[in-house]
Amino acid sequence: MTKQLNIGMVGYGFMARAHSNAWANVSHFFETGYKPVLKAAAARNVSKLRHFADMWGYESVETDWKALIERRDIDAIDICVPNDMHAEIAIAAAKAGKMVLCEKPLARTEAEGLPMVEAVEKAGVANMVWYNYRRVPAVMLIKQMVEAGKLGKIFHYRAKFLQDWTISPDVPQGGAATWRLDVDAAGSGVTGDLLAHCLDTAIWINGSISTLTAMTETFIKERKHALTGEVQKVGIDDASAVLTRFQNGSLGTFESTRYARGHKAAYTLEINGEKGSLSWDLHDLNRVQYFNHGVEGAVRGWTNILVTDGDHPYLGKWWVPGLIIGYEHSFTHQVADFLYGLRDGKPAAPTFRDALETNRVCDAILASGKSGAWVTV
Ligand SMILES: NC(=O)c1ccc[n+]([C@@H]2O[C@H](COP(=O)([O-])OP(=O)(O)OC[C@H]3O[C@@H](n4cnc5c(N)ncnc54)[C@H](O)[C@@H]3O)[C@@H](O)[C@H]2O)c1
């Protein structure tokens, strides 16, 4: 029998829309034994909140997230608000016995994230962090190919996440639209916002990072605050470039920036091993590029695999081979895995504890960016 799962959404912004879409459509495609219901959404601006709730079909609204958590008809709290609010909401939700799904990064720092991990584990509630790129079928295929030994011993892991939207010194910091530039709200700049995605995928595919050294830079040192109009020092990292050693002996290079003119959300990764290489580009999200050194020399070369067949991860649940899917599907897949996890009694990754490792690496990057030293993670 299908069970109803009542969702309480906190926020109505970018991620609240991406998640609402996933909760709303997952049971049309995946038979998990659960039917999510968009029960209530919480935010402070009631007119914007009502508009969001109407658009997505939420049954009710709350103007205080605490009231949402107190409601007995809510099973799972989905946290889609700026990073400085994750810990307080997640801990309160866990104490109230709710399942908790939290946007990434789990917290602004590892120290802030640890009590969140302890709270969900103490309460014994299902929990997950939305590192959604794991659930892009092509990225999942790369994980499966590496695990199956297709690359043999791994030598290099290389990833970048590039944007260009903060180059103008006129972009303010703080406030609703630009909280990502305010270190108090975001915790860090591109390291926690963009590189965290690259690090999560890397750790998941290639294992833990043992040591690293980083360069970080804040190109624009002062910006106006969007709410007060006051010119203030900028506390975030605008760019980070990192060298790492993984525990498996491979070397990693990572880069994230909001100053790469022309790039809007350029997440790319490449892995080089003894037997072959694999690469992926978010802007060609359905393809994996594969070089198999085992192929006879005369016809050996980079192959592009269109990841749309029924035997590719998740694709059997969608359309027919050759028909592509998009960014939003990664969230639907993540919801599906969360629900399968509930059904099977197995936590869906990344759990809060899994995601804490990415926070630890981000902290090490920011510390190394300041000191210039190699840091043991
Ligand atoms: N997984 C991903 O790829 C991805 C992408 C974007 C953002 N994120 C993460 O999602 C989270 C939200 O980012 P976003 O892009 O959706 O931000 P956003 O600015 O689009 O939305 C933030 C929401 O938080 C609400 N909010 C702010 N303060 C609040 C309060 N005190 N009470 C209730 N609501 C409040 C705002 O009204 C808004 O609805 C962040 O942690 C971010 O890092 C993840």
Give 201-242 pLDDT, tens digit per residue.
999 999 999 999 999 999 999 999 999 999 999 999 999 999
User: Does one domain contain both 15 and 68?
Assistant: yes
User: Does one domain contain both 123 and 248?
Assistant: no
Residues 24-41: pLDDT tens digits?
999 999 999 999 999 999
Task: Tell me what the mean pLDDT of segment 265-278 comes to.
Answer: 98
Domain boundary among 90, 107, 132: 132
Domain boundary among 100, 132, 164: 132
Report how many domains make up the chain.
2
Q: For residues 288 and 334, give the distance between their C-alpha atoms in angstroms, rounded to a whole number.
A: 20
Could you tell me the CATH number of the domain that includes residue 180? 3.30.360.10
Residues 173-202: pLDDT tens digits?
999 999 999 999 999 999 999 999 999 999
User: Does one domain contain both 128 and 142?
Assistant: no
Q: Where are the beta strands (DSSP E) in the chain?
A: 3-10, 34-42, 60-62, 76-79, 99-102, 127-129, 154-162, 209-217, 222-224, 231-233, 239-246, 251-257, 266-273, 276-281, 287-292, 302-306, 375-376
How remote is the CA of residue 100 from the centroid of ligand 1, in Å? Answer: 15
User: Does one domain contain both 62 and 151?
Assistant: no
Instruction: Please state the separation of Cα 376 from the chain's center in Å.
Output: 24
User: Does one domain contain both 80 and 208?
Assistant: no
- 297 Cβ contact partners less than 8 Å away, ≥ 6 residues apart: none
Q: Which of 80, 104, 184 to mutate to test the pocket of ligand 1 (most atoms within 8 A of CB)?
A: 80
Residues 94-132: pLDDT tens digits?
999 999 999 999 999 999 999 999 999 999 999 999 999
CB half-sphere exposure, 306, CA atoms < 13 A = 8
User: Does one domain contain both 126 and 32?
Assistant: yes
Residues touching ligand 1 (Cβ under 6 Å) are 10-16, 43-44, 65, 80-83, 85, 103-104, 130, 132, 193
Edge-first strand listing for the sheet containing 127-129: 60-62, 34-42, 3-10, 76-79, 99-102, 127-129
Q: For residues 158 and 243, give the distance between their C-alpha atoms in angstroms, rounded to a whole number.
A: 10
User: Does one domain contain both 280 and 213?
Assistant: yes
Domain boundary among 63, 97, 132: 132
Mean pLDDT over all residues of the chain? Answer: 98
Check residue 167 and report its DSSP letter: -
- Reported as a pLDDT band with limits 50, 70 and 90, residue 1 is confident
> By residue range, what is the domain housing residue 270?
134-376
Could you tell me the CATH number of the domain that includes residue 14? 3.40.50.720
